[in-house]
Every structure is written in structure tokens, then in C-alpha cells.
Structure 1
Amino acid sequence: METRSNHVLVGAVVLILLAVLAIFTVWLARLGNATEREYDIFFQQAVDGLAKGSTVTYSGVPAGQVKAIGLWKNDPQFVRVRISVNEDTPILQGTMATIQGSFTGPSTVSLDGAKRGAPPIGCDESRLTQTCPYGVPVIPPRAGGIGAILNSAPQLLERLSTLTERLTGLLTDRNQASIAGILQNTNRLTSAFADRAPEIAATLAQTRIAIQQAGDAAQQVGALANTTNGLLAEDVRPAMQNLNKAIASAQQASDTLNGAIGDARPGLQTFSKQTVPEANRLVHDLRQTAAALSSVAEKVDQGGASSLIGSPKLPDYKGK
């Protein structure tokens, strides 16, 4: 009886210990999950050397590890990398992820670029499919490191090949001869300049003197302009005042003449309507009188004074 009771007691104690161990394990798991946050990164480049469990660093400081790696189903050009980082890691707006490769060890995910005072990276409820397609925030990638170099290697090789072909086409025998001729002409030109160095120096000196003289002439022109301004201010202004006075006097005389013409206008009308016709008749009479006098004068000249009082004498008749 005692043996059976001891077995029951031992079994109960074992079950209690197992239950406590299970509860402790669950608590540790929940505690570990509570101190970590998960993010997704979509790389559009090869992730060679990166594996599950690879280190995640923030500005070189270990901050977490890679949880999973796989192709993105929506677009196979992208590789989705799930990472978990410590809760105190500042994953803020501006943070970007880079794959840092190594020739001697596994690659790592490097995070940096957070801005002080920026809000943390999170899920936008209005754009949940874009910001959190798999339920966790997304950290934008940035090409860099050996992976970026390897990805751009084909383009670099293609550009190097194109550059080599162009250089080969440029450095033909004909172009080389042209380049040699250009170099020879350059040497001749340099020698000619060296021979003409004294003349060039003299020309530069004369140019310097000419520039100085031009500056002096410009200064004199400025002084002349100032003098002209003074003369205009001293002589022209009084003359303009006198001219203004003369114009005012002429205007006054014109006004007076207009008044006099206005006053004389009735007399002029009477002169034009009465005096002028009478003067015309007088002139007509004088013309008639002059004609009569001319006729009398002709008679006196031809017949003498007796022609004025008698008839003209007939000529004597003589027979044959």
C-alpha cells in the first residue's frame, strides 16, 4: 500500500514539474517575441551569401537576424527577406536596408539612414496591401555592397566592350597619322610662340598702356560730362526762363490783337459792304473820264484847238 502511494506521489510531482517547465517555456517564448519586431525587405538583386540566421546590423551594431528568405510570389524579380530586430532598434522613416557581402563569410543585412525625430516605420491602414503585404512593415532596400557590384557587372562589361571598340576604331593608322601631324603642328606653334616671346611681351605692354590711356580718356569724358551738366544748369536754365517770358509776352500780344480785331470787325464789315462798291464805281467813272480826255487829246493833236468847236475841214478838190 505504501509503495503504491509513493508511486502516485512521485508521478504527481513529475507532472507538476513538467507543467511548470511547459509554462516557463511558453513564457520565455512570449517574452522573446515581445522584445523583437519583424520587418520585410524586398531586394531586387541577388542575395548570395545571405541565409536564415544571418546577422542583421544597424550602423554596424548587431540588432537581429534573418528569419526567412524566399522569392516574392507577386513578382519573382524580388526576393523577400523577413528579419527580426530588437525592440529598441530605431527603425524610423528613412531607414534603408543593404546587403553587405563578404568573401570570407556569410552576408549580412545592414540597416541605416534613420532621421532623428522621424516617425517609426509602420503599417498604413489606408494602404495596407502596399505598406504591409504580409502583415509586417516593409523596410525599403538600397543597392550597395558587393551584390550591387555583381548585379551591375554585366552592364559594366558591356560598356567596357563598347568603349574598347570605339577606341579601336579611333586609333586607326590614319587617325594616328593625323594625331601625329597635330602634335607636330603644336610643337611648331609652340616654338613660334617662344621665338616671338619678346614681341608678344612688347605688344602686351603696349596693350596695357592703351588700356590705361583709355581709362584716362574715360575719366576725362566723365569730367567733361560733369562740366556740361554745370553749364546747362548755369546758362541754359536762365535762357529758358527768358524764353518762357518772351513766349508769355507774345501770347499776351496775340490776345490783345485778337481783341482789337474783334472790336474792328463791325467797321470792316461796313467797309466791305458799302465803301468798296462805291470805290469800284469811282474807279469806273475815272476810267471813262480818262478815255474821254484821251479822245480830246487826240483831236487836239490832229486838228488843233479848232477841231474842238467846229466840224472838220474837208479837203480841196482840184480838177484834172
Structure 2
Amino acid sequence: MTASAIIEPQTWNWQGHKITYQQAGDTGAAVVLVHGFGASWGHWRKNLPVLGESCRCFAIDLIGFGGSAKPQPGIVNYTFETWGQQLGDFCREVVGGPAFLIGNSIGCIVVMQTAVDYPELALGVAAINCSIRLLHDRKRVTLPWYRNYGSMVMQQVLGNKQIGGFFFKQIAKPKVVRKILLQAYRRPEAVSDELIDLLMKPSQDPGAADVFLAFTRYSQGPLPEDLLPRLTCPTVLLWGTEDPWEPVGMGRKLAEIPTVNEFVPLEGLGHCPQDEAPEIVNPILLDWIKQHQSTTLLTDVTH
């Protein structure tokens, strides 16, 4: 089922801002899907209906992305703490309780932050090709001096509103987006016109450029290695082995953290396996949910 075959997304008011989300299924365990940078709930369009056959499955647009509101930076701080609070409130107010939290890329950091700040709302965390955040201040110092200096200069240059706005306009073009995705994906046929359209549409919204630039310059906040040790729920890492942005070797290093229960390499896939190969990812997620749903129910009965 494609995005166009699913009913129009629903809206939720969060702190005075419109948030869009989509839901499939009305029975079973609750599951919340969180997209990566520049994406939206539509990036889960191949997963939502399948997971919804046995779960109450939700896919949310983080504030600043997709169909959600894009307030000016300063009105909203575009940080993982903000998005973690948004996701926690969503679980309480819309989902109605705890859920399995599943993220891709920076969405992985969001679900981890939520599970750390609101452990009572996390039945489990599944992270698909988690963002390593190589431009974080603490990571950058490990880079060769010229790369460290170059990234610092780039962030400062993008802080200029005119230059930053021009840069965003050059990036937010279908041909450029397609080229970027063909680097991230290993199955070129998955980089469809539909995918380009769903990523391009929000980029035309007022405020989209400011959000993009604010996050591009965000080099603080938590790293996955900060959050993973603090998780108290079942945790699994899924990783496309051919991801050019988040090397699988770094994923295996994260998997050595004791709170990570399982590491699942996805051979031959890139940065967004849930979209590139849903026929591989969906069964893994369903099995993981089923396994830990049974454990959760058993715990509830025994207590």
C-alpha cells in the first residue's frame, strides 16, 4: 500500500502547534514510528499498513518536518529533548499509553530520548540505522583537523540567513534530492517519484528552510552512546550494512553496550532499509514486537 492509498493524515494540537500523524490498525500493541531528518510519516508508508494488521500503529511527523507546523527556531528549540517531549505527550494523549518506539536515522535518537525521559511509555526501542551524529562537537574533535575546521566553517556560513536560504534552495530540488537518495539507498528502484514527491512537498512550506538550517547547525545534545546505556526496555539495532552515512562498524560498536539486546545486520541495504526493503524489515519488526509483547503481558500478569 502506498501513501496515496492511505487515508489523509490526522492532526493533533501540541503546545499550540499542528502535528500530523497517520494510524493503521486498532487492536494489539501500540507502535509509534519516527522518521529521520527531512522526512515524514510517509517514509513509513510501506510499513504502517503491514504493522497495522496486528498492531495499533502510528507514524508521526516531528515538529518542523512533514505536514507538522514549522515555527521559527527560538519559538521552538529543535533539539532531541523537544522531540522527545513531543513523542512522550503523543503517547499519553493520542496513543493512550506506552508503545513500542521505532525510529530511523535521527528518529532513533528521538525514540531513545523519549525512552530515557519517560521510561514508563517505552515498551521497547528499535533503532534502524541510527544516526551516529559525526558532526557533534564531541565527535568532531576526533576528525582530522581539516575536516573538523571545514565543518565548523560550514556551520558558521550557514548561520547567515541569506547564504543559508540560498543553500537550502539548491538542496531542495528534485534532481538533487534524487541524487542524495541514490547515495543512501542501495536499491535504486526504491528511489521512486513518489518518494521524491513526499520529501519535496514539506520543503516548500514557510519555515522549512529555517528548521533545516537550525538542525544543520545543531552540534550539541545527546549521542546514541549517551542514551543507550540508560535504556531500561528491550532494545534492538537494525543496520543496513551498505549505509554510506552511518557505517555498520559503528553500529556494531553501539551493539556492545550492555543494554542493547540484539543487533540485526541487513545485508546489502542502505540508510533507510524500512523503505528500501520493507519485505525484509517488516517481518523482523513484527517478530520483535510479538516477542516482547508476550513478555510485557506476562510481566503484567505476574505483578
Please give the range of the TM-score, normalised by the shorter of the 2 chains. under 0.3
* Structure with the greater alpha carbon radius of gyration: 1
Task: State TM-score, norm by structure 2.
Answer: 0.19
- Between Structure 1 and Structure 2, the one with more helix by share is 1
Higher RCO (Cα < 8 Å, 6 or more apart)? 2
